[in-house]
Amino acid sequence: MDFESLSGDLHRLMDHALAEIAETADPAALDELQIRYLGKKGDLTAVLRGIGALPPEDRPRVGAVANEIGEAVKAALAERGTELRSVVQAQRLAAEKVDVTLPGRTVPRGTLHPIPETIAAIAEVFGQFGFMVYEGPEIEDDLTNFQMLNIAPDHPARDLWDTLYVDIPGHLLRTHTSPGQIRVMQSTRPPIRALLPGRCFRYEAVDASHGFEFFQVEGLMVDEGTSMADLKGLLDEFAHALFGPRKTRFRPGYYPFTEPSVAFDVECVVCGGVGCPACSKTGWMTILGAGMVHPVVLQYGGIDPERYQGFAFGMGVERISNLRHAVPDLRYYLENDLRFLEQFR
């Protein structure tokens, strides 16, 4: 045995191993090849057993060749391994392909009713201007619902509020949220900025634009020098927040509990002011009533009208919602047909 023949054996071994590695298609088979060629009982070791028959001066040379060959086989194994793994992964990924255009798994999601949603939207705008939310009782006494609001028992303006009475003497179902003004004034001192949302009742036959139960939001601001200009400024902000930039106007109105009283009109949300059936060709839509709190009402609230003045406004929640969402029929709100509710996604 000489160096040349041993070196030749080693090179043959390498050629054989590299060929076999290249042909292997299974990562597990590569592990076997590694053991077969490079393991302790592997072919390379077996070849090297012949090293003892060589002259001592040749032995290091053989060692160097053997190392070189061992490294080459290792590298070939690693390279082939990487290659094979990526092929396998690609096959798996190909097999896992789905139709990505199928619809997603529906996450159950309910809807929120437009009345509380509208109240929340109104409260949010006025909240920005420091208006705090209060609530009054729905079963009111006649005193607070009418008399303290400057509506005497036989006042002709009582016709404006057809009332439902209950079997508790002196009590009725509040016809508006305005009695809340009295309750707020009696329970706190100026400066007052209050918002009072809630359910109201009237003796009114049901049709597309009337109902015996409906919701209102009342606003009240009282301080020294609170004026109609403040009222107009705030209502403009409110109208812009809910209906976008639009012209607004005051026109005279009448409520026994405000003096002066106004109606607040917004440029028609349907036609933009040109005139259409929705706005009775006027170009305007009334969204709320307002005015400066009547001195009699301030006094019933325990507030000196010589020192303080204030404004109040009241709006129908359904009306605001109708205008925002183009709801055609008031009955939709309390009927709760899911085909209506589910449109508020």
Partner 1 sequence: MRVPLSWLREYVDVQLSPEQLAERLTLLGMEVKGLERWGADWRSVVVGELLTVEKHPHADRLHLTTVNVGSGEPLHIVCGANNIAPGQRVPVALPGAVLPGDRRIERTEKMGITSEGMLCSGDELHITSDAEGILILPPATPLGLDLSELYGDVVLDVDVKPNRGDALCLLGLAREVAAATGATIRWPEIKVEETGGPVTAKLRVEIREPELCPRFVGRWVSQAKIGPSPDWVQMRLQAAGMRPVSNVVDAANYVMLELGKPTHTFNGAAVKDGIIIVRRALAGERLETLDHVERELTPDTLIIADPTGPIGIAGIMGGFDSEITDSTTEIAIESAVFDPVSIRRTGHRYALRSEASLRFEKGQESRLARIGADRVAQLTLAWAGGVLCEGRVDSAPTEPAAARLAFRPARVNKLLGADISVDEQRSLLRRVGVETEEGASGMRVQVAAAPKPLVVDSGSEPTVVAVVPTWRRDLAIEADLAEEIARVRGYETTAAHLPDTLMPAYRPTPLRVRELIRQTLAGVGLSEVVTHALVSPLDEARLLWPDDAAAPAVPESVAAPSGDDIVVTNPLSAQHSVLRRHLIASLLDVLSLNERQGRPDVAIFEIGKGYARIDGRPREWTRLAILLTGAAEPAAWNRVARPYDLDDAKGIVELVCRRLGLSEPTYVPDPRGFPFHPGRALVVGQESGSEAVGGRVAELHPDAVAAWDLRAQRVIVAEVAIGGLDVAAPTRMHVEPIPRFPEVERDLAVIVAESRTAAEVHSTIERHGGVLLRRVRLFDLYRGTPLAATEKSLAYRLVLGAKDRTLTEAEVDAAIVAVRKGLEVDLDAHLRT
For partner 1, the binding residues in 249-268 under the rule CB under 8 A are: 249-254, 256, 259-263
- Tell me, what DSSP letter sits at residue 104? P
Which of 8, 39, 63, 116 lies at the binding interface for partner 1 (CB under 8 A)?
A: 116
Among residues 59, 113, 240, 331, which is the contact residue for partner 1, using CB under 8 A?
Answer: 113
Q: How far is the CB of 91 from partner 1 (least distance, A)?
A: 25
Choose, by CB under 8 A, the member of 51, 121, 276, 296 that binds partner 1.
296
The residues in 170-189 that bind partner 1, with binding defined as CB under 8 A, are 171, 173, 188
The dihedral sign for the CA sequence 204, 205, 206, 210: negative
CB of 95 to partner 1, least distance (A): 19
316 binds partner 1 per the rule CB under 8 A: no
Nearer to partner 1, 70 or 314 (CB): 314
Least distance to partner 1 from the beta carbon of 331, Å? Answer: 11
Rounded Cα distance, 131 and 195, in Å: 6
Of 153, 147, 140, the C-alpha closest to 300 is 147
Which part of the chain contacts partner 1 (CB under 8 A), choosing from 46-54, 79-87, 89-97, 193-201?
A: 193-201
Is the peptide bond prior to 191 cis by the omega test (within 30 degrees of 0)?
A: yes
Q: How far is the CB of 72 from partner 1 (least distance, A)?
A: 51
Segment contacting partner 1 (CB under 8 A): 33-41, 49-57, 74-82, 296-304? 296-304
Token pair listed for 108: 């159950």
- The dihedrals phi and psi of 91, each to the nearest 5 degrees, come to -65, -45
Give the residue with the Cβ less far from partner 1, 64 or 166: 166
Site for partner 1 contains 331 (CB under 8 A): no
Applying the rule CB under 8 A, the residues between 127 and 166 that interact with partner 1 are: 127, 129-130, 132-135, 137-139, 147, 150, 152, 154-157, 159-160, 164-166
Q: Are 173 and 201 in contact (CB under 8 A)?
A: yes
CA atoms within 13 A on the CB side of 95: 6
Choices 11-19, 56-64, 68-76, 190-198; region in contact with partner 1 by CB under 8 A:
190-198
* C-alpha distance from residue 23 to each of 26, 28, 77, 90, 191 (Å): 9, 13, 11, 19, 90
DSSP 202: -
**What CA–CA distance (Å, rounded) separates 284 from 278?**
9
Enter the DSSP assignment of 313: E
Q: Is 105 in the site for partner 1 (CB under 8 A)?
A: yes
Return d(Cα 131, Cα 123) in angstroms, integer. 8
Stretch of residues binding partner 1 (CB under 8 A), selected from 48-56, 73-81, 89-97, 291-299 = 291-299
What's the chain's length in residues?
345
Q: Binding to partner 1 by residue 309, rule CB under 8 A?
A: yes
β-pairing verdict for 192-201 and 284-293? unpaired
Which residue's CB is nearer to partner 1, number 33 or number 119? Answer: 119
**Cα–Cα nearest to 261, from 293, 308, 239:** 293
Measured in degrees and rounded to the nearest 5, phi and psi for residue 301 equal: -80, 0
Q: Is 228 in the site for partner 1 (CB under 8 A)?
A: yes
